[in-house]
């Protein structure tokens, strides 16, 4: 038999494959590594990467057209289906970054202290000038509010005045509104002293109406005494109860509303007093009115009606597309800290803030706060009607409740213990020392104003 013929090409291919394959692998490996480096394989997102987002107290403003409102609604309804298809824009990322819930946080020590003191500011009401009246413990001045979600910068007077240049800011409400106003004026006075240009009489302890100008920025700041926001007749020596007309706003500030660019509303404590409530010609009922033939209805519903009437009146006069825009801030209820009789020493003796969880918010304080938030939310839901009116809540109830140490107490009067401890001694455990915790209200207010401008 002859020898079997071999295929030289087959042997050559086998030889080439054996020799060249390792070189090909060595060449491809670096290329594969370069590909992975520059174009990594996307990994599926874990659910733990998505942090829960709380509803912030201050979000983007309500200043929008109806078209933008419609597009926002459409975007919200389709977010679940489109979020994985398109990355957020830089503008959307910035909007997420600036949102902050200032409501929840902790008071932390702060060595820097306040911007002003009891002698450097001339607009402090004497009853709140705790330093000048000899309060010996000054530790209450060295705390700052630290929100859980973000930082709260120190107050910047120049920035605040810049945002208000050529505008009119009005504080409307009770003595808590005045307390916040005087805090603000003191903080602004560190760079540009305000000039009082009008007040309604030297003998008025309430100063029902006052107005300042800050010439450096042409800023006007006004204070309107209106403890119910709506029309009312305050109690007197002859009549032991207030009478509230819940269907109409207070005449003085209502008639001046057209000239205001921004208002801060703050009421609450006067609703706790005995009162009779009316709507038009009808008496709705009363709160603590023994001897009168009226139904007891408490004070929660009257407060709600007053807030509703106020916001609807502003909306009707300045909302929609009519005229210039107006910015409205509604401050929530600021709790008192009486721990004993108001006329005894030690009525509010604390010298440090409460720690988180140390004391729960009282039910009444919570309810007063919730009413304000609910009524503001109800107005903001009418996006087409709200138009050029921007509206936010300044939710200070919790952070105020945690500061039992910030009130004048007996130091509402000068040197109350100079002659020993008297049997009867008036205390103020409602208003705030200046400087004091209420300065924080205005730090948050500035952040809201900055967000509006953004």
The Cα angle at residue 61 between residues 59 and 63, in degrees rounded to 5: 160
> Residue 40 has what pLDDT?
45
SS3 category, 297: coil
> Residue 414 has what pLDDT?
96
Strands (E), 78-190: 105-109, 143-147, 168-173
Encoding tokens for residue 251?
A: 């005449």
Q: DSSP per residue over 168-211, as a string?
A: EEEEEESHHHHHHHHHHHHHHTTTS--EEEEES-TT-SS-SEEE
Q: Give, as one character, the DSSP assignment of residue 103.
A: S
> Residue 202 has what pLDDT?
55
Closest CA to 353 of 407, 290, 431: 407
> Residue 30 has what pLDDT?
52
> Residue 340 has what pLDDT?
83
Q: Residues 374-428: pLDDT tens digits?
A: 999 999 987 667 878 999 999 999 999 999 999 999 999 999 999 998 888 999 9
> Residue 219 has what pLDDT?
98
Calpha distance 216→155 (Å, rounded): 18
Q: Say if residues 226 and 172 touch (Cβ distance below 8 Å).
A: yes
42 φ/ψ sector (left φ>0, alpha ψ -120 to 50, else beta): beta
Which residues of the chain fall below pLDDT 70?
1-98, 201-207, 321-323, 383-384
Q: Residues 151-202: pLDDT tens digits?
A: 999 999 999 999 999 999 999 999 999 999 999 999 999 999 999 999 886 5
The helix (H) or strand (E) run that includes residue 244 is strand 242-249
373 Cβ contact list (under 8 Å, min separation 6): 332, 393, 395
- H-type helices in 333-415, by residue range? 363-380, 383-386, 397-401
| Active-site residue, 175 included | yes
Helix axis angle, 439-453 to 175-188, nearest 10°: 70
| Active-site residue, 11 included | no
Q: Which residues on adjacent β-strands are paired with residue 170?
A: 222, 263
The helix (H) or strand (E) run that includes residue 279 is strand 275-279
User: The tokens 């002659």 sit on which residue?
Assistant: 419
User: Among the options 101, 174, 405, 428, which is catalytic?
Assistant: 428
Calpha distance 438→399 (Å, rounded): 10
Proportion of the chain in helix, strand, coil states, percent, rounded to 5: 35, 15, 45
| Active-site residue, 377 included | no
User: Among the options 61, 62, 64, 175, which is catalytic?
Assistant: 175
């Amino acid at each position: 038999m002859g020898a079997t013929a071999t295929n030289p090409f087959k042997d050559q291919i086998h030889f080439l494959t054996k020799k060249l394959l390792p070189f090909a692998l060595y060449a491809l490996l670096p290329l594969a590594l370069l590909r992975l480096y520059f174009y990594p394989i996307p990994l599926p997102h874990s659910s733990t990467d998505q942090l829960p987002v709380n509803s912030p107290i201050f979000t983007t403003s309500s200043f929008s057209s109806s078209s933008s409102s419609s597009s926002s609604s459409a975007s919200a309804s389709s977010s679940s289906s489109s979020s994985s298809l398109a990355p957020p824009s830089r503008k959307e990322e910035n909007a997420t970054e600036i949102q902050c819930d200032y409501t929840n946080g902790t008071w932390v020590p702060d060595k820097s202290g306040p911007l002003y003191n009891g002698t450097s500011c001339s607009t402090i009401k004497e009853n709140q000038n705790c330093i000048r009246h000899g309060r010996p413990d000054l530790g209450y001045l060295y705390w700052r509010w630290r929100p859980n979600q973000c930082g709260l910068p120190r107050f910047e007077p120049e920035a605040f005045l810049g945002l208000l240049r050529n505008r009119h800011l009005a504080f409307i409400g009770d003595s808590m509104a005045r307390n916040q106003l005087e805090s603000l004026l003191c903080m602004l006075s560190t760079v540009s002293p305000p000039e009082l240009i009008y007040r309604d009489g030297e003998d008025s302890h309430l100063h029902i109406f006052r107005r300042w100008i800050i010439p450096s920025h042409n800023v006007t700041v006004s204070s309107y005494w209106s403890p119910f926001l709506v029309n009312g007749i305050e109690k007197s020596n002859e009549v032991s109860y207030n009478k509230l007309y819940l269907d109409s706003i207070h005449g003085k500030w209502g008639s001046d509303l057209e000239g205001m660019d921004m208002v801060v509303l703050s009421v609450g404590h006067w609703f706790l007093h005995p009162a009779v409530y009316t709507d038009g010609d009808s008496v709705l009922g009363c709160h603590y009115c023994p001897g009168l033939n009226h139904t007891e209805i408490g004070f929660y519903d009257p407060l709600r009606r007053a807030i509703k009437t106020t916001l609807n009146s502003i909306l009707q006069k300045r909302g929609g597309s009519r005229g210039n825009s107006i910015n409205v801030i509604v401050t929530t209820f600021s709790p008192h800290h009486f721990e004993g009789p108001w006329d005894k020493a030690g009525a509010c003796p604390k010298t440090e803030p409460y720690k988180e969880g140390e004391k729960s918010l009282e039910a009444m304080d919570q309810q007063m706060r919730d009413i304000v938030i609910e009524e503001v939310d109800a107005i903001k839901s009418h996006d087409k009607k709200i138009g050029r009116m921007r509206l936010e809540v300044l939710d200070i109830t919790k952070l105020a409740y945690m500061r039992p140490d910030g009130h004048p107490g007996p130091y509402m009067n000068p040197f109350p213990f100079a002659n020993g401890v008297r049997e009867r001694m008036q205390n103020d455990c409602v208003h705030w020392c200046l400087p004091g915790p209420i300065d924080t209200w205005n730090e948050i207010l500035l952040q809201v104003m900055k967000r509006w401008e953004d």
